[in-house]
Structure 1
Amino acid sequence: MKKVILSAVFFSAFLAKAQNSPANEFKYLEYDIQKIQSLYKSNKTSVKEVVEAYLKRINDIDKNGVQLNSIITINPDALKIADSLDHLDPKLKDKPLFGILVLLKDNIDTHDKMPNTAGSLALKNSFPLQDSYLAKKLREAGAVIIGKTNLSEWANFRGMKSTSGWSGLGGLTKNPYILDRNTCGSSAGSGAAISANLGIIAIGTETNGSIVCPSSLNGVVGLKPTVGLISRKGIIPISSTQDTPGPMARTVKDIAISLGTIVGEDKNDIKTVGSSQFLHKDYTKFLTLNGLKGKRFGYIKGITNGASKKVDELFLKTLQNLKDQGAIIVEIEKELISEEVQQKSFELMVAEYKDGLNDYFQSLGKNAPIKNIDELIAFNKNNKEELQYFGQEFLILSAKGDGTKDKNYANAVKVAKEGSQDNGIDFAMKKYTLDAIIAPTTTEAWKTDLKNGDHYSYGSADAAAIAGYPSITLPMGYVDELPVGISFFAEKWQEGKLITMAYTFEQSNPQRKVPQFLK
């Protein structure tokens, strides 16, 4: 108990220091869903006043000032939506996300005055014909979709030597802790914006690492759910096997609240069909403090394999912290997945990419600015801004293939699934009798290098991403003022269990620091 109190005192002192920073003189700094809604219920503020305050902060921090560049589009109707919520009958205000400001990654369809672009100049004026399933669920829950966040263009699956956080349309998103450091991707803007208090929650998407990596590098909590828990309908795709949206927030509690509002079966996404028996409409029931004591956590021997000595040291300290709180730590002798499994995952992504993109472009109707993957490649070739830093090798490779009709596609899916599930996470969980597998999410953020691309040296996302299994990351500590996350992995549909573990860890070892926008 003493350690918990000391950690909380440290956190409060740091927050007080951050509030004295000119960049963090914000009325709602670090407010969560519950705190914002308590102001509404006590009539101390209105949704319109909150939206106005956040719009001003976005202007001061993202567009001017430090120019974080995390938000690609502001919803021009945000104030109008807020005003309409304020005038609702009080009985209709009792919704889990009432008046909560949500930022969507700019590969998620909204049927309003905001385009959905994937960060590409080719889709600059692409307006979807309907809300994505996800956007519809958020609106039903009372949320205000205040804007769209920048991303690594085409969710970081356009070409080799890419720079995470950069898109042709949105430019480069900066890391709010140290501005010349990378945000990781592809949900770069979502991570940076939530860390910088430009919204209350964000929705990112992940194929392999695109929620957990930017969450780690930007010092926030990110949940990559089981593939099939949340519909992908209306989301610009990479892989029908691995793609999933997921919430990003500053606290585990906000993750739990928001997750319950967006899960559900959708007949337009076959992966979600039959998921009702595994999902929960309210994940806050998992916010209990029994996630560590007596639990068996496995970690892979060698940790980051020498990628970062400082991260290894931080993780070993964290293991001791877990032991002190009654956890049992078990060393796993080998990696969860092989290089062959990783290669097959890449092959299935390339195959599914072509079919997925072509289907998405068709969903935009006769006025779609791009009709197919070949037109997209041609557009990029004729646009110097798009190819000024890196190419489009993955698009070309995908376009040349036969998509999911490729003779090797079915085998790639089979090998990837068996290697990551049966012989990967499931095998390790059973062999070592584990409650979860833990690992550093990433190393600390590297310096952004537009010329040579990302200097990415370690990440633990592969196994859960390829398996389609859930993982959650939250701040574990800091290396040279830069946040580093810890990830918890488990079997399919075990989001509730992971939320309990993460919440217990967060409450007993609070590590979230308000970023200082250091130069």
Structure 2
Amino acid sequence: MHRTASIGLAAACLAAAGVAQTASATAPETPATYLERIAAIDDAGPAIHAVVAIAPDPAGGAQGGAQGGAQGGGPLAGRAVLVKDNIETRDMPTTAGSLALKDNATGRDAPLVARLRAAGAVILGKTNLSEWANFRGDRSSSGWSAVGGQTRNPHALDRSPCGSSSGSGAAVAAGMAWAAIGTETDGSITCPASVAGVVGFKPTVGLVSRTYIVPISASQDTAGPMTTSVADAAMLLTAMAGTDPADPATAEAGRHAVDFAAALSGASLRGVRVGVLRGQAGTTPALTAVFDKALADMKAAGAEIVDVAFKPEARMGEAEYAVLLHEFRKGIDAYLAGLPGQPPARDLAGLIAFNKAHADAELRWYGQEIFEQALAATDEAVYRKARQDARRLAGTEGIDALLARHEVDVLVAPTTSPAWPIDPLLGDHFLDIGAGSLAAIAGYPHLTVPMGAAEGLPVGLSFIAGRWDDAKVLRVGAAYETVRSARLAPPSLRRWGE
């Protein structure tokens, strides 16, 4: 874990509690202020465990970034950004939360990181995550890794930060950076953003490079921004998006990588047809009441509310899992084989052996059943059929069909349930709420925007549309953000109910 100089705890906690979500781009604070806040509420105080590493001399880098922005017009000049610890940066190890990679200092910037630096951003440090992006074993606790420990939700310290971009969501909510970068395969940006009360955007797969990001799925992986406003997310996405010759999925990105921030100008809900997935809202009264209020806000702003009936087929989830197992085995073998230095494992079999040899630290709370299943997922015919089924059920017969049949612009639903209690022994307690898996499996854009709180726990509103409709989704989400009537409370930095 990082260590930085501490300051007065009360002052730092008050500063963190003053973080507010606004409908417009937020003014960044100095990197030094963020470092002080990290020292006071992450290392000390409530000990959220959201940040696992601080970049060498980030304040000096901030000055350089600010000067570069002033001279060269960098749109992110001097803005401090935290990066999930499965994304490579040239100046810090990239661990994926595993002790097997604790010394994985590659000296490389992922292309998305290089783009952020070129835009003037200051890479402040690395955030904790669910180890191996929550793709190692059954009964995992979101936000736990052997490297970083258990991340806690700043709105309720005993409640889950969700995963796997748990540290990124918690850090933004607690004011530890202007913004953070997360990654998602299925829900790993949108779920932690929702329960932390921040904005999270999962772009169309292929809009942002995945090179030098520890992989799970070539079909579904993407990085995306986590921020306090849709405008900030759009600014970050504009800097991150683009074609990368090393990532074939991004071949079309250049045609779709617009100025997403500029595209928000004049955003309005008037005449927008909003498809409401009521069947994905669950039955928790406190949550459905917040959802109904969000729908009422949109209707009052001129949106047309259209009920959309949908029930996902069980085969979709089964096919997705088969795809993830197969693609993870191939992807992680290639990633480990290409690492510089002498990592203790060069393939998935080596990781499994490493965890067994370090079972006290790695396997105390849960196992590596997913690793073992992935090692055996070698049937190419089964994989091809599963990928075809998953893409069809989530895309062509899922989102595409729903949008066309009901003639709606976007689909909306609660993103997920309110945060559940952290339980390292029994693991996460997910409820069947939200439609994020549709967007994840199809590879389509998915935005979550805070819509209020259920019994003091933040909940997000999801906006989903078709492939390459990223600008549209951000525009509709930004329009909702401006008319939202719910008050967004700052993080309490206490246990739930205290």
TM-score interval (norm. to shorter): over 0.9
Determine if the alignment matches structure 1 residue 98 to structure 2 residue 82. no
Determine if the alignment matches structure 1 residue 496 to structure 2 residue 471. yes
**What SS does the corresponding residue of 1:25 show, helix, strand or coil?**
helix
Residue of structure 2 in register with 1:344 after alignment: 319
After superposition, the Cα gap between the structure-2 partners of 1:89 and 1:155, relative to the gap in structure 1 and judged at 3 Å, is closer
Match of 1:473 among 429, 448, 459: 448
Determine if the alignment matches structure 1 residue 23 to structure 2 residue 13. yes
CA deviation digits over 1:465-510, x for unaligned, max 9?
A: 0000001001111111110000000001111111111111111116
After superposition, the Cα gap between the structure-2 partners of 1:200 and 1:466, relative to the gap in structure 1 and judged at 3 Å, is same
Match of 1:283 among 260, 271, 276: 260
Determine if the alignment matches structure 1 residue 441 to structure 2 residue 421. no
Match of 1:77 among 14, 36, 57: 57
Structure 1 residue 316 displacement after superposition: 1.8
**Contact 1:183/1:214, CA 8 A, preserved across alignment:** yes
Determine if the alignment matches structure 1 residue 304 to structure 2 residue 285. no
Taking the TM superposition and a 5 Å limit, the aligned residue runs for 1:191-340 are: 191-280=169-258, 282-306=259-283, 308-335=284-311, 337-340=312-315
Determine if the alignment matches structure 1 residue 108 to structure 2 residue 98. no
What is the distance in 2 between the residues matched to 1:182 and 1:142? 33
Quick one: which amino acid aligns to residue 117 of structure 2? R
**What SS does the corresponding residue of 2:325 show, helix, strand or coil?**
helix
What is the distance in 2 between the residues matched to 1:299 and 1:157? 31
After superposition, the Cα gap between the structure-2 partners of 1:26 and 1:314, relative to the gap in structure 1 and judged at 3 Å, is closer
Residue of structure 2 in register with 1:396 after alignment: 372
Residue of structure 1 in register with 2:4 after alignment: none
**What SS does the corresponding residue of 1:483 show, helix, strand or coil?**
strand
CA deviation digits over 1:231-290, x for unaligned, max 9?
A: 00010000000000000000111011111001000010000012221221x111222344
After superposition, the Cα gap between the structure-2 partners of 1:153 and 1:372, relative to the gap in structure 1 and judged at 3 Å, is same
Q: Could you tell me the TM-score, scaled by structure 1's length?
A: 0.89
What is the distance in 1 between the residues matched to 2:273 and 2:93? 46
**What SS does the corresponding residue of 1:381 show, helix, strand or coil?**
helix
After superposition, the Cα gap between the structure-2 partners of 1:343 and 1:353, relative to the gap in structure 1 and judged at 3 Å, is same
CA deviation digits over 1:114-166, x for unaligned, max 9?
A: 10000011111111242111111111111110100000000001001110010
**Contact 2:348/2:371, CA 8 A, preserved across alignment:** yes
What is the distance in 1 between the residues matched to 2:305 and 2:69? 52
Structure 1 residue 80 displacement after superposition: 2.9
Determine if the alignment matches structure 1 residue 57 to structure 2 residue 53. no
After superposition, the Cα gap between the structure-2 partners of 1:87 and 1:22, relative to the gap in structure 1 and judged at 3 Å, is closer
What is the distance in 2 between the residues matched to 1:392 and 1:150? 19
**What SS does the corresponding residue of 2:286 show, helix, strand or coil?**
helix
Identity of aligned residues (%): 39
Determine if the alignment matches structure 1 residue 387 to structure 2 residue 360. no
**Contact 2:26/2:229, CA 8 A, preserved across alignment:** no
Determine if the alignment matches structure 1 residue 419 to structure 2 residue 393. yes
Structure 1 residue 303 displacement after superposition: 3.6
**What SS does the corresponding residue of 2:450 show, helix, strand or coil?**
strand
**Contact 1:208/1:462, CA 8 A, preserved across alignment:** yes
Structure 1 residue 228 displacement after superposition: 0.2
After superposition, the Cα gap between the structure-2 partners of 1:254 and 1:301, relative to the gap in structure 1 and judged at 3 Å, is closer
What is the distance in 2 between the residues matched to 1:264 and 1:75? 25
**What SS does the corresponding residue of 1:277 show, helix, strand or coil?**
helix
Quick one: which amino acid aligns to residue 277 of structure 2? I
Count of residues in Structure 1 that have an aligned counterpart in Structure 2: 482
After superposition, the Cα gap between the structure-2 partners of 1:448 and 1:31, relative to the gap in structure 1 and judged at 3 Å, is closer
**Contact 2:12/2:40, CA 8 A, preserved across alignment:** no
Residue of structure 2 in register with 1:127 after alignment: 105
Unaligned runs of 5+ in 2: 1-9
What is the distance in 2 between the residues matched to 1:200 and 1:262? 16
After superposition, the Cα gap between the structure-2 partners of 1:57 and 1:21, relative to the gap in structure 1 and judged at 3 Å, is closer
Quick one: which amino acid aligns to residue 395 of structure 1? F
Quick one: which amino acid aligns to residue 201 of structure 2? L
**What SS does the corresponding residue of 1:408 show, helix, strand or coil?**
helix
CA RMSD of aligned residues (A): 1.9
Quick one: which amino acid aligns to residue 382 of structure 2? N
Structure 1 residue 512 displacement after superposition: 3.4
**What SS does the corresponding residue of 1:276 show, helix, strand or coil?**
helix
Structure 1 residue 513 displacement after superposition: 2.7
What is the distance in 2 between the residues matched to 1:439 and 1:89? 39
Quick one: which amino acid aligns to residue 452 of structure 1? L
**Contact 2:208/2:253, CA 8 A, preserved across alignment:** no
Unaligned runs of 5+ in 1: 1-19, 40-49
CA deviation digits over 1:177-209, x for unaligned, max 9?
A: 111000100000000000000000100000000
Quick one: which amino acid aligns to residue 389 of structure 1? W
Taking the TM superposition and a 5 Å limit, the aligned residue runs for 1:162-201 are: 162-201=140-179
What is the distance in 2 between the residues matched to 1:218 and 1:31? 11
What is the distance in 2 between the residues matched to 1:401 and 1:153? 21
Structure 1 residue 86 displacement after superposition: 5.2
Quick one: which amino acid aligns to residue 311 of structure 1? L
**Contact 1:31/1:200, CA 8 A, preserved across alignment:** no
Structure 1 residue 26 displacement after superposition: 5.8
120-129 or 504-513: which moved more? 504-513
**What SS does the corresponding residue of 1:205 show, helix, strand or coil?**
strand
Quick one: which amino acid aligns to residue 242 of structure 2? G
CA deviation digits over 1:375-402, x for unaligned, max 9?
A: 1111111211111111110101111222
Match of 1:161 among 139, 155, 167: 139
What is the distance in 2 between the residues matched to 1:212 and 1:492? 17
Residue of structure 2 in register with 1:508 after alignment: 483
**Contact 1:299/1:439, CA 8 A, preserved across alignment:** yes
**What SS does the corresponding residue of 1:477 show, helix, strand or coil?**
strand
What is the distance in 1 between the residues matched to 2:282 and 2:34? 42
What is the distance in 1 between the residues matched to 2:341 and 2:424? 36
**Contact 1:377/1:395, CA 8 A, preserved across alignment:** yes
What is the distance in 2 between the residues matched to 1:215 and 1:202? 11
What is the distance in 2 between the residues matched to 1:476 and 1:311? 10
**Contact 1:137/1:262, CA 8 A, preserved across alignment:** yes
Quick one: which amino acid aligns to residue 63 of structure 1? D
Structure 1 residue 318 displacement after superposition: 1.9
Structure 1 residue 317 displacement after superposition: 2.3
**What SS does the corresponding residue of 1:407 show, helix, strand or coil?**
helix
Structure 1 residue 366 displacement after superposition: 4.6
Match of 1:68 among 7, 31, 48: 48
